[in-house]
């Protein structure tokens, strides 16, 4: 009987492994994962400078307040300004870089000129993000104002690059032949470039038209309305699922939590605690701050810090362990996007279930401890740049019980991720065996 169960489980595992490998070998998924991995060093640099600017070289930063960095570190304000601007600049280029790599790998997948397609997609992204292309006359030497926000949607950027790569794919093989061995230029290369730029101008025009008629602001208000702030455990669980799924598909907005000062429930709880000198009896026990901010993201968004620990502990993949080691510093401060593109976690169905399940479970477990008053609510504001694992401890005014519950939740998160890490190792092993047999893999 036991043997039959083990055999059945082995067959199910083999079936799932084959399906996961087949999914990863789909052209778009393969190109997407190659693009994400190529973005890893840029995101790692961006998140590192972001942590330094928020936590160390900021007046309200956690490390600055803890060690009074401002009082003894020379050029504190200047360094903070440079780091903030570098974060905005490099982070703002994430979208164009994603389109570049996506177009490059798409064109290469179909045997076309990778460099030309990549640069074309990069300029395509700049044209799409232009905000003055249809509004002002540019003087000589002036560059149209380009809106490159740090908050992007990776799937949109990758799709743009994929479309440009497809334009090069369906053009004549001679169209992307720029020069021959005698350095003779072939003007036919203008065809896919012209088609791409014409499409970019059209998209830019439609965006400009949509902005004039408030189309995008209406859509944004509708989507933001899906995540509501309520003193209700079920609503918070739904918001948690929406946030994590949105992040899994590459939308960076969930990485930016609602500021404490804009959370009416958090402010009411804080005023109550200051007035009565106790957190017992706060008006909103089940608030986003008490549950999601303090415990839902205890291990980072989607529990990525727990996954990082699980990989370092149990994974046999040298690549995944290397990415995890390099991503420890920003991930500790709740900036795990570099880790998420390096593994990758984005668009990876293997990690979708635990990525959504972990924060929802954290919120549920924390709500039980809060309901029975085993831990106090996190009513106090937390300095910017504070490590996510210390949010509950700081927000409760230094409660060791809150810290202990957070550590307990973190251990559960790590244990949840371990089976998925092992399964991911088996997929890597199957891919290596296919490679040795001459099979193609990503």
In 3D space, the residue among 66, 438, 422 whose CA is nearest the CA of residue 58 turns out to be 66
Tell me the average pLDDT across 331-335. Answer: 90
Following CA atoms 32, 34, 40, 43 in sequence, which dihedral angle do they give, to the nearest 10 degrees? -30
pLDDT at res. 34: 92
Residue bearing the bigger pLDDT, 274 or 140: 274
State mean pLDDT over 31-39: 93
Question: What pLDDT does 433 receive?
Answer: 80
pLDDT at 441: 45
Distance of CA 18 to the CA centre of its chain: 27
pLDDT of residue 42: 94
Helix residue spans in 261-344 (DSSP H) = 264-276, 288, 304-314, 318-332, 337-342
pLDDT of residue 46: 93
> What are the C-alpha distances in Å from 351 to residues 241, 333, 334?
14, 21, 18
Tell me what pLDDT residue 173 has: 64
Q: 3-class SS at 130? A: strand
Residue 435: pLDDT over 80: no
pLDDT at 37: 92
Least confident of 254-268, 275-289, 291-305, 348-362: 254-268
Q: CA 154 to CA 255: how far, in whole Å? A: 13
Q: Please, what is the average pLDDT of the chain?
A: 85
Q: Does residue 1 register a pLDDT over 60?
A: no
> What is residue 395's predicted lDDT score, i.e. its pLDDT?
93
pLDDT value at 88 more than 60: yes
CA distance 100 to 292: 35
**CA end-to-end distance (rounded Å), the chain:** 39
167: left (phi over 0), alpha (psi -120 to 50) or beta: alpha
Q: Averaged over 29-35, what is the pLDDT?
A: 91
pLDDT in tens, 337-388: 999 999 999 888 899 999 999 999 999 999 999 999 999 999 999 988 899 8
- What is the average pLDDT across 229-240? 81
Percentage with pLDDT > 70 across the chain: 84
Confidence category of residue 417, pLDDT binned at 50, 70, 90: very high
Query: Given pLDDT bands bounded at 50, 70 and 90, which one contains residue 228?
Result: low
What pLDDT is attached to residue 189? 65
DSSP of 160-215, one letter per residue? HHHHHHHHHHTS-TTTT--B-TT--B-GGGHHHHHHHHHHHHHHHHHHHHHHHTTH
> What is the reported pLDDT for 321?
95
Query: What mean pLDDT do residues 140-156 have?
Result: 68
Strand partners, 382: none
Tens digit of each residue's pLDDT (9 = 90 or more) over 96-120: 999 999 999 999 898 887 888 999 9
pLDDT, tens digit (0-9, with 9 covering 90-100), for 396-406: 999 999 999 99
Q: Are 404 and 330 in contact (CB under 8 A)?
A: no
DSSP label at residue 99: H
pLDDT at 4: 57
Give the tens place of pLDDT for each residue, 45-67: 999 999 999 999 999 999 999 99
Residue pLDDT, tens place only, 2-29: 555 556 667 787 888 888 888 888 889 8
Q: How far does Cα 294 stand from its chain's mean position?
A: 19
Reference 337, options 178, 76, 160, 154; nearest CA is: 154
Mean pLDDT lowest for which of 47-51, 147-151, 234-238?
147-151
State what percent of residues in the chain have pLDDT above 90. Answer: 47
pLDDT (0 to 100) of residue 394: 94
């Amino acid at each position: 009987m036991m043997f039959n169960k083990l055999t059945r489980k082995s067959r199910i595992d083999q079936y799932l492994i084959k399906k996961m490998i087949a999914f990863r070998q789909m052209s778009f998924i393969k190109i997407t994962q190659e693009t994400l991995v190529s973005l890893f060093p840029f995101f790692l640099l961006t998140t590192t400078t972001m942590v330094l600017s928020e936590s160390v070289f900021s007046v309200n930063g956690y490390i600055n307040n803890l060690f009074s960095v401002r009082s003894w570190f020379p050029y504190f304000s200047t360094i903070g300004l440079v780091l903030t601007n570098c974060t905005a600049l490099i982070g703002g280029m994430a979208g164009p870089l994603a389109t570049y790599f996506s177009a490059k790998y798409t064109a290469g997948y179909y045997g076309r000129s990778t460099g030309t397609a990549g640069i074309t997609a990069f300029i395509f992204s700049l044209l799409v993000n232009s905000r003055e292309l249809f509004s002002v006359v540019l003087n000589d030497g002036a560059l149209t104002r380009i809106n490159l926000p740090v908050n992007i949607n990776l799937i949109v950027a990758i799709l743009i690059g994929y479309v440009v790569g497809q334009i090069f794919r369906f053009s004549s093989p001679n169209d992307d032949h720029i020069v021959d061995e005698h350095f003779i230029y072939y003007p036919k290369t203008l065809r896919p470039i012209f088609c791409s730029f014409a499409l970019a101008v059209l998209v830019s025009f439609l965006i400009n038209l949509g902005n004039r008629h408030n189309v995008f602001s209406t859509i944004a208000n509708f989507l933001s309305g899906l995540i509501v702030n309520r003193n209700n455990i079920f609503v918070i669980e739904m918001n948690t699922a929406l946030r994590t799924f949105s992040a899994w598909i590459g939308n960076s907005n969930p990485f930016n939590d609602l500021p404490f000062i804009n959370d009416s429930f958090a402010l009411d709880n804080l005023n109550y605690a200051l007035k009565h000198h106790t957190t017992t009896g706060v008006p909103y026990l089940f608030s986003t701050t008490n549950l999601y901010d303090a415990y839902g993201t205890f291990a980072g968004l989607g529990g990525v810090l727990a996954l990082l620990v699980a990989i370092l502990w149990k994974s046999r993949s040298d690549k995944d362990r290397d990415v995890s080691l390099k991503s420890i510093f920003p991930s500790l401060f709740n900036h795990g996007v570099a880790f998420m593109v390096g593994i990758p976690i984005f668009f990876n169905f293997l990690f979708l279930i635990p990525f959504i399940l972990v924060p929802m479970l954290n919120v549920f477990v924390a709500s039980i401890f809060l309901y029975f008053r085993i831990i106090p609510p996190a009513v106090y504001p937390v300095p910017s740049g504070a490590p996510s694992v210390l949010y509950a401890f700081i927000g409760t005014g230094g409660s060791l019980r809150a810290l202990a519950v957070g550590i307990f939740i973190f251990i559960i998160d790590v244990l949840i991720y371990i089976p998925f890490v092992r399964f991911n190792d088996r997929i890597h092993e199957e891919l290596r065996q296919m490679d040795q047999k001459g099979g193609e893999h990503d």
